[in-house]
């Protein structure tokens, strides 16, 4: 029996899952066990297409969960919307988890029947940029790559004939590659708002690379893990002090780096030039609505203010669509970066939204997606 | 005033139960005030969606005023609290957008405060005249 707050080292009992999973296959096994025992009706897994592409699918087949893609750094899809209206278990980066919680606040997701296994995340990469990076920086054919890994600040690619090449992430990012911009300044690396917070930070010694550090965050996490142990899919043992300390150290190093990036990305635009800057950026907008469609915190559906009150016939200096979205997201933007990813005309939507959201959230000491107790603050009285 | 002097366009959202009455009182008391004001009557300041304010700017308003009952006096218990929460939010947004903060103002005015209403409008008009036309004004609107 595990308890809430426990910090454990665990791995899948099935040797095949254990060796194939990124770090011991614990997450895969926990998800499969939840399905096996009927705790949930489906599990969201990534179905691998190639090294840079995967589609999230909801499956009720245990075998399919066990054979899922595992963790992929070059697939920055946010899974939050897959949880809406279903009884599922899902793995998730901190931004996926925060998205689900923001959805739950707006009644998009029933958290009681949704189990989330959080994964530590230091950042994800854009698939197209990754391919380009492989050619330019690694001098490797993207099709030859068989696996990637981030270790000790280095991004390592393994080719099909077993060769490994590592370049430090700092070097890559200085050259314009590496992690997506929003991941660089992201403030949540360990998903403490998930039910279980898992990752390979703090896994040391003989189990390094073949086990997962797992923190039980709440009752649901306990249920999830107990269930996996009962079915015999997972084995755990308490993490020692050294492991916990190392996990903390990695986390704080990542956060510090994030703060540095924040300063680099959000250089102040002088007062007089700001309006022109925003107008020029949004002038390229073709009003496809993709940024709204992928947004993990938007729950408006089709009848949303941003689209309903926006007309292309208006000759406004700045589109009503973006004005409403700027306002709506100021209290809930989690900085997942999906909007920038999908924008067909490359408007830096995420960083513009963050310019509005960051000070507003900081001022109210509000971190969206971190707990259920604080509702979205634009919709309620604060006093 | 000369004929060719620029007159700002100011949109005021007025609560039916207080500031709309206040505007009425200002008229009845014959307080001099500029003609730059366009009043939009709402049943409560809590009805004012931030979107209304943004739309007013996009349609060519040089300034937008949000007015309502004094805190504690709301006809619908707490509409003006809600209005204030949203207003604080909008205020930050307008600032971040790079619009001058004087272009968006909040004031609590009761039905009996005709003079306060007239003075408020006069002040805002003077401030906006200094600033000039809003940079968000669409082409062809003056």
Would you state the pLDDT for residue A383? 42
Cβ of residue B123 closer than 8 Å to a chain A Cβ: no
Would you state the pLDDT for residue A64? 86
DSSP conformation class of B11: E
pLDDT in tens, B29-60: 999 988 889 999 999 999 999 999 999 999 99
Q: What is the ipTM of this complex?
A: 0.89
Cα–Cα separations (whole angstroms), residue B28 to A328, B15, B35, B42, B121: 41, 18, 15, 21, 16
Task: Tell me the shortest Cα–Cα distance from A314 to chain B, in angstroms.
Answer: 9
Q: Write the CB contacts of B3 (distance below 8 Å, at least 6 apart in sequence).
A: none
Would you state the pLDDT for residue A69? 63
Which of B71, B67, B51 has the alpha carbon at shortest distance from B59?
B51
Q: A276-280 — which CB contacts under 8 Å span 24+ positions?
A: A276/B98, A277/B98, A278/A318, A278/A352, A278/B97, A278/B98, A279/A317, A279/A318
DSSP conformation class of A139: -
Does the distance separating the beta carbons of A327 and B54 come in below 8 Å? yes
Would you state the pLDDT for residue A379? 63
**Facing A317 at nearest CB: one of B49, B78, B136:** B136
Does the distance separating the beta carbons of A317 and B98 come in below 8 Å? no
Would you state the pLDDT for residue A380? 58
User: What's the CA gap between A124 and A121, in Å, rounded?
Assistant: 8
Neighbour count for residue B6 (Cβ, 10 Å): 12
Would you state the pLDDT for residue A223? 92
A378 contacts in B (CB within 8 Å)? Answer: 85-86, 89
Would you state the pLDDT for residue A74? 83
pTM for this predicted structure: 0.90
Task: Tell me the shortest Cα–Cα distance from B26 to chain A, in angstroms.
Answer: 31
Q: Using an 8 Å Cβ cutoff, are A308 and A356 in contact?
A: no
Neighbour count for residue A71 (Cβ, 10 Å): 23
Residue B104 has pLDDT above 70, yes or no: yes
pLDDT in tens, B79-97: 999 899 999 999 999 999 9
Residue B22 has pLDDT above 90, yes or no: yes
Would you state the pLDDT for residue A243? 92
DSSP conformation class of A1: -
Q: Using an 8 Å Cβ cutoff, are A6 and A238 in contact?
A: yes
Does the distance separating the beta carbons of B136 and A355 come in below 8 Å? no
For chain B, give the longest Cα–Cα distance: 46
Would you state the pLDDT for residue B2? 56
Cβ of residue A273 closer than 8 Å to a chain B Cβ: yes
Tens of pLDDT along chain A (383 residues)? 888 999 999 999 988 888 877 788 899 999 999 999 989 999 998 888 888 888 889 999 888 888 876 777 888 888 888 888 889 999 999 999 999 999 998 888 889 889 999 999 888 999 888 999 999 999 888 888 888 887 778 888 888 888 888 898 888 988 888 899 999 999 999 999 999 999 988 888 888 888 999 999 999 999 999 999 999 999 999 998 999 999 999 999 999 999 999 998 898 899 889 999 999 999 999 999 999 999 999 888 888 888 888 888 888 999 999 999 999 888 889 999 999 999 999 999 999 999 999 999 998 888 999 988 888 777 654 44
CA dihedral over A371, A90, A81, A70, signed as positive or negative? positive
Residue with tokens 């087949």, as numbered in its chain: A61
């Amino acid at each position: 029996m595990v308890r809430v707050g426990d910090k454990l080292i665990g791995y899948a009992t099935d040797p095949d899952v254990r060796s194939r999973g990124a770090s011991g296959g614990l997450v895969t096994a926990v998800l499969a066990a939840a399905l096996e025992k009927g705790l949930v009706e489906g599990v969201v897994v990534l179905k691998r297409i190639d090294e840079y592409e995967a589609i999230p699918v909801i499956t009720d087949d245990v075998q399919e969960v066990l054979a899922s893609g595992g963790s992929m750094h070059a697939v920055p899809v946010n899974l939050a919307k897959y949880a809406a209206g279903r009884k599922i278990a899902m793995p998730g980066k901190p931004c996926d988890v925060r998205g689900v919680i923001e959805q739950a606040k707006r009644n998009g997701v029933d958290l009681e029947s949704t189990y989330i296994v959080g994964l530590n995340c230091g950042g994800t990469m854009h698939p197209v940029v990754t391919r380009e990076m492989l050619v330019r920086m690694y001098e490797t054919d993207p099709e030859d790559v068989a696996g990637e890994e981030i270790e000790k600040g280095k991004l390592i690619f393994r080719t099909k004939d077993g060769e490994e090449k590592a370049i430090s992430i700092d070097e890559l990012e200085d050259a314009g590659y590496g992690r997506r911009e929003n991941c660089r300044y992201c403030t949540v690396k360990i998903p403490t708002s998930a039910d279980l917070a898992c990752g390979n930070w703090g896994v040391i010694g003989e189990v390094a690379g073949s086990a997962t550090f797992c923190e039980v965050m709440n009752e649901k996490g306990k249920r999830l893990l107990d269930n996996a142990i009962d079915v015999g899919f997972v084995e755990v043992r308490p993490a020692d002090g050294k492991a916990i300390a190392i996990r903390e150290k990695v986390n704080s190093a990542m956060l510090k780096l994030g703060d540095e990036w924040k300063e680099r990305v959000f250089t102040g635009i002088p007062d007089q030039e700001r309006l022109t800057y925003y107008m020029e950026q949004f002038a390229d907008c073709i009003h496809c609505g993709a940024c709204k469609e992928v947004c993990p915190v938007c729950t408006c559906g089709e009848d949303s203010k941003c689209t309903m009150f926006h007309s292309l016939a208006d000759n406004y200096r700045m589109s009503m669509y973006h004005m409403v979205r700027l306002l709506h997201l100021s209290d809930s933007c989690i900085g997942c970066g999906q909007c920038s990813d999908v924008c067909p005309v490359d408007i830096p939507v995420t960083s513009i939204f963050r310019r509005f959201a960051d000070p507003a959230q900081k001022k109210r000491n509000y971190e969206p997606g971190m707990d259920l107790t604080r509702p979205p603050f634009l919709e309620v009285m604060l006093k | 005033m000369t004929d060719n002097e620029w007159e700002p366009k100011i949109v005021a959202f007025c609560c039916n139960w207080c500031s709309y009455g206040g505007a009425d009182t200002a008229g009845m008391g014959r307080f001099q005030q500029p003609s730059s004001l366009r009043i939009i009557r709402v049943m409560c300041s809590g009805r004012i969606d931030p979107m209304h304010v943004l739309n007013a700017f996009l349609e060519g308003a040089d300034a937008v005023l949000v007015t309502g009952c004094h805190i504690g006096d709301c006809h619908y218990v707490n509409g003006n609290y809600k209005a204030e929460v949203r207003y604080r939010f909008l205020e930050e947004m307008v600032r971040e957008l790079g619009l001058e903060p004087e272009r968006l103002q909040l004031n609590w005015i009761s039905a009996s405060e005709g003079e306060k209403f007239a003075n408020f409008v006069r002040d805002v008009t003077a401030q906006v005249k200094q600033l000039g036309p809003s940079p968000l004004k669409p082409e062809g609107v003056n």
